[in-house]
Amino acid sequence: MFGLMPFKFRFRGHVSAILDIYFAFLDCGNEARHPVQLARATGRSLGSIAARLEATPEVFVKMPARQGDLTRYRVTSSAMAQTPEQIEAKLIGYERNETLVLYALVTMVMCLLTIVVLTIIPGL
């Protein structure tokens, strides 16, 4: 069902992974890192790290690569200006907003099904 929706939940269920990546960047002094380096530092899979880096441009930015250079990422300057507590609160807020959107979609589908059922029942 979720594959049919025109959007993805970027934060819902992924806040801990995003925070792990963020803290890995803080541990290295915010130097540009490749997803493989981050996967080793966090103990998470390379695929999940790469997906989180691509999906969250609010926190991570892709560095321009020179010819033949590896793709590297860095924490955005706006995220570096904030404390880790502020970043965590912002990510939890994003997750809460996505959860509310999910609940709204489920409620709309349930209301639509209720209307269809109430429309069909009198005809039986």
SS3 19: helix
Instruction: Please tell me the total count of domains within the chain.
Output: 1
* Mean pLDDT of the residues in the chain: 89
Q: Which amino acid is at 115?
A: I
* CA 7 – CA 69 distance, rounded (Å): 31
User: Closest Cα partner for 72 from 62, 59, 57?
Assistant: 62
Residue 1 has pLDDT above 90, yes or no: no
The domain spanning residue 65 has which CATH number?
1.10.10
* Mean pLDDT, residues 87-109: 94
* CA 44 – CA 52 distance, rounded (Å): 11
Residue 113 has pLDDT above 90, yes or no: yes
Alpha helices in the chain (DSSP H): 15-27, 35-42, 46-55, 77-80, 84-120
Token pair in block for residue 28: 């290295």
Question: pLDDT, tens digit, for every residue of 15-37?
Answer: 999 999 999 999 988 788 999 99
Res 3: pLDDT: 57
Domain hosting residue 100, numbered range: 2-123
Residue 86 has pLDDT above 90, yes or no: yes
Res 5: pLDDT: 60
Higher pLDDT, 3 or 53: 53
**The residue count for the chain:** 124
pTM strictly above 0.85: no
Res 70: pLDDT: 83
* CA 34 – CA 42 distance, rounded (Å): 13
End-to-end CA distance of the chain: 30
